[in-house]
Amino acid sequence: MEDQAEKLREMMRNKKAHEKPVSLQNGKKTRIITITSGKGGVGKTNVSVNMALAYARLGKKVMVMDADLGLANVNVMLNLIPKFNLYHVIRKQKTMREIIVDTEYGISIVAGASGFSKIANLNEEERQEFINEIETLSSADIIIVDTSAGVSSNVLDFIAAADDAVIITTSEPTAITDAYGIIKIIATEMDNLNRGLKLVVNRVKSAAEAKQVADRMISIVGQFLNIKVEYLGFIYDDSMVSQAVIRQKPFMVMDPKCKASQCVQHIVGRMEKNDTQESGGFGNMIKRFFGRAAL
């Protein structure tokens, strides 16, 4: 983690040299929710996709953006093979609008690609163009960004841009340690995080198990790091999740009443309650994305 943080700082120092404040008009209010984790495989993509469905059921226009650098997870989970992805947008072969794929579930997706990592190396002009492209997504009420595990410059960019940053962990000690690791890096690297972080404990056997993990995390974070972490909720370990993954259908569709579905709906319910707080709007999100303070 230490090495990674140092590399990141170096990257950010270089980035700052060509960073200019970006000015955009405020669009319609779009809520950006970034889903991330320290350890891989803890359920980010499942949470992203199924939270999107839970929001869609509340009548929201939702988009899931796959910002995972390695594997294009989201489209696999939905059994879609999009022809184009963010790589093509960055390469200017396609516009953002052209790569949006509507699904049969009432949500749309923007597919990711390994080429997305190139965003860190965009020059000022390319970056401005990419910003203009992202702006076309402001027609959505909610954008859920599914990131890769661990910290990269891109993940931090998305966390900085988000109205809500959700950290997923399981109750395994390795996942908890890595979740703490990423929270520590976020706390160290970002002094002006828009809102506190939210914690979801996935794959638990009981509410008490999740609460124990969350309480410990919040207490340690409160003691050692200057960052607020809020316990958002838990998701039961539910065999429906892996069955749904195998069938390439969201579990919210396979069985909206299964334990995992109910938990996700509960989490979205809590998110909605919190939404009464002031949010900066889409224009501000873009500014945060690229005008993030020196790291």
Residues that bind ligand ATP (CB under 6 A): 37, 40-46, 68, 73, 149, 202-203, 235, 237-238, 241-242, 245, 260
Instruction: Give the neighbor-by-neighbor strand order of the sheet with 197-204.
Output: 100-102, 108-110, 62-67, 142-147, 31-37, 164-169, 197-204, 229-236
**Touching Mg ion, residues 50-89 (CB under 5 A):** 73
Among 15, 44, 127, 249, binds Mg ion (CB under 5 A): 44
Q: Which residues have C-beta within 8 Å of that of residue 285, sequence separation ≥ 6?
A: 30, 32, 161, 162, 163
In the DSSP assignment, the letter for residue 105 is: T
Q: Which is nearer to ligand ATP, 93 or 239 (CB)?
A: 239
Whole-number minimum distance, CB 75 to ligand ATP, in Å? 13
Length of the chain: 295
| Cα–Cα distance, 163 to 281 (Å, whole number) | 9
**Touching Mg ion, residues 202-231 (CB under 5 A):** none
The rounded Cα 289 to chain-centroid distance in angstroms is 13
In the DSSP assignment, the letter for residue 279 is: -
In the DSSP assignment, the letter for residue 112 is: -
Whole-number minimum distance, CB 13 to ligand ATP, in Å? 28
| Residue 202 touches which of ligand ATP, Mg ion, none (Cβ within 5-8 Å per kind) | ligand ATP
Q: Which is nearer to ligand ATP, 89 or 175 (CB)?
A: 175
| Residue 108 touches which of Mg ion, ligand ATP, none (Cβ within 5-8 Å per kind) | none
Whole-number minimum distance, CB 290 to ligand ATP, in Å? 25
| Residue 237 touches which of ligand ATP, Mg ion, none (Cβ within 5-8 Å per kind) | ligand ATP
Whole-number minimum distance, CB 18 to Mg ion, in Å? 31
**Alpha-carbon distances of 272 from 51, 64, 75, 282, 286, rounded to whole Å:** 12, 17, 26, 18, 22
Do 72 and 111 form a contact (C-beta atoms < 8 A)? yes
Whole-number minimum distance, CB 252 to ligand ATP, in Å? 12
Nearest one of 232, 176, 241, 226 to 37, comparing CA atoms: 176
Considering just the CA atoms, what is the radius of gyration of the chain in Å? Answer: 18
Q: Which is nearer to Mg ion, 44 or 249 (CB)?
A: 44
Stretch that binds Mg ion, among 17-25, 42-50, 86-94, 131-139 (CB under 5 A): 42-50
- 45 makes contact with Mg ion (CB under 5 A): yes
Whole-number minimum distance, CB 242 to Mg ion, in Å? 14
What is the residue type of 14? N
Q: Which is nearer to ligand ATP, 40 or 222 (CB)?
A: 40
Whole-number minimum distance, CB 52 to ligand ATP, in Å? 13
Residues that bind Mg ion (CB under 5 A): 44-45, 73
